[in-house]
Amino acid sequence: MRKRQRKSSTVGNSDAAAIRPLCVTINEAADMLSLGRTSIYQLIAEGALVAIKIGTCTRVTTASLDQFTEQLASRQA
């Protein structure tokens, strides 16, 4: 008996590794910025990062992480 081949779940020729999430967990944001969880929550409270709630889970938008790091880089330049 022949096995069925599984169809690819990606659309077109896009690489699944190239897909970037719209938001990340607090821990992931902390890892990305090399900060602690408390610092991430402080940045959210200050408005430096944008957080959304999905049920009971808090997520940080990757767009706000990008904007935050770009602002830091432009201040230091």
pLDDT, tens digit (0-9, with 9 covering 90-100), for 21-33: 999 999 999 999 9
Does residue 48 carry a pLDDT above 70?
yes
Residue 30 host element (H or E): helix 26-33
Q: Spell out the domains of the chain, with CATH numbers in brackets.
A: 20-76 (1.10.10)
pTM above 0.85, yes or no: no
- Of 31, 71, 68, which is closest to residue 51 (Cα–Cα)? 68
pLDDT of residue 18: 84
**Number of other residues whose CB lies within 10 A of the CB of residue 60:** 25
Structure tokens at 77: 């330049």
